[in-house]
Structure 1
């Protein structure tokens, strides 16, 4: 269990060529299919929050029961530079921990900002800390870490850590705020968007990002989360580091 509503499922085999930030479609017969961020590739790992029929059924699986997966899908994070700031809102921490492990294995510097509504909604704090990441925590209600929004911690980290690239995953308002902050500071950022993904192939259009959000963040109009994303690279310098 990652917290009261989330658990990680570890499979008995790897998902070859998966990258941090990509996702897969998990299917249970007679239940349905849903997208999940890849939280690890060798062995394959996904973190599931029990909020609907598919996720609830996945959380109730016993060791040895089968899950059908389709993936890896979409575009993942593309590390730039050697100093990396990871920003997770709520359950957005799961794919970022996979990214942190990848970057740390390369001998690069990683700091993390995690925000949530309250202490019960935080994920993987001890995992990031145990991996060696300097971790800043914020909660809306002040039950853990600093009281306030995670962007407060991001601003402080930018001032003290001077990251080459910021990587974020979480709710849309958080991603918009991170995009604006990075633009102001001329720091490249990579944003992982959550959307209603049905087909995973760019056919149905259900995951097209809202035009207003595109305008606010620099994402091209008509951008499909499942095919063009879920990660969007926003270049706020002349070129990526």
Structure 2
């Protein structure tokens, strides 16, 4: 995407929006709602802008046409500053940006981890609004403990098939959401109505495990990848991935199974603000 193209699409210039409301989701995780016609699709993101702190990409966790929400975890200077904001405070927003999930699939499973569960819940609600049977959607969410689980009640209201995993067994299945994914795939296969698509968003090592299961079981999948970004519109190159320089901000963040297989750094490392490789700690 060129700057001219971004300007034509109306996503190059930020808008100043007051925070309409804030919902505490879990420890250090909040959803910020804005009354604004964003016209986003599940999997897209926005750039959140704060004076003196710059801008950072944030996923869109809901958008009903009248208002949209972004779910943020306080992990850095800008996101921690957002944790201190109140309703009525003005925030700079650019977007929607990036390539969304395709929406393909007639019997799907959504695998979310941490605040990456937001785009998965958004996908479910949007698909149902467009006529998909909620019973054809499986929502798998995992967290270390019950207190860190996101959007359980929201997905109960949506009446999807809900599967919960906690590492410590404080709620739902004791273990990892990958274990539940294998179970859901196997049960669907034996029922005669196999899954035809997996969507995932969350920590990259979790996403890589989901991808590996998709390859192993021959199930199609799409993955929302996260990389350090400065511009969000394909100009700065900060989010380029090895080996071909794919730009996650415009060629992603949502990539299909074939594309993910070609990204050699996927599940191995990412780059920091200086461009240095930062390897993921496994185990």
- Equivalent residue number for residue 165 of structure 2: 138
Quick one: distance in 1 between partners of 2:167 and 2:47?
A: 31
Map of 1:48-197 to 2, 5 A cutoff? 48-105=72-129, 106-108=131-133, 109-161=136-188, 162-197=194-229
Pairwise CA distance, 1:59: 2.3
Matched, 1:228 2:251: yes
- Equivalent residue number for residue 46 of structure 2: 24
Quick one: distance in 2 between partners of 1:203 and 1:189?
A: 28
- Equivalent residue number for residue 33 of structure 2: 10
Pairwise CA distance, 1:208: 2.6
1:20 and 1:99 in contact (8 A); partners too: yes
Taking structure 1 as the reference length, what is the TM-score of the superposition? 0.88
Tell me the C-alpha RMSD between the 2 structures. Answer: 1.7
1:37 and 1:95 in contact (8 A); partners too: yes
Deviations 1:36-55 (A, max 9, x none): 00112221211111122211
Quick one: distance in 2 between partners of 1:117 and 1:208?
A: 31
Quick one: distance in 2 between partners of 1:204 and 1:128?
A: 37
2:144 and 2:166 in contact (8 A); partners too: yes
Pairwise CA distance, 1:235: 5.4
Taking structure 2 as the reference length, what is the TM-score of the superposition? 0.75
Query: Residue 238 of structure 2: SS of its match in structure 1?
Result: coil
Q: Which moved more, 1:99-108 or 1:68-77?
A: 99-108
Pairwise CA distance, 1:11: 0.5
Pairwise CA distance, 1:148: 1.6
Mark the structure with the bigger radius of gyration.
Answer: 2
Pairwise CA distance, 1:210: 5.0
- Equivalent residue number for residue 215 of structure 1: none
Gaps of 5+ in 1: 212-220, 237-241
Query: Residue 240 of structure 2: SS of its match in structure 1?
Result: coil
1:22 and 1:74 in contact (8 A); partners too: yes
Q: How many residues align?
A: 226
Q: 1:163 to 1:235 in 2, by over 3 A?
A: farther
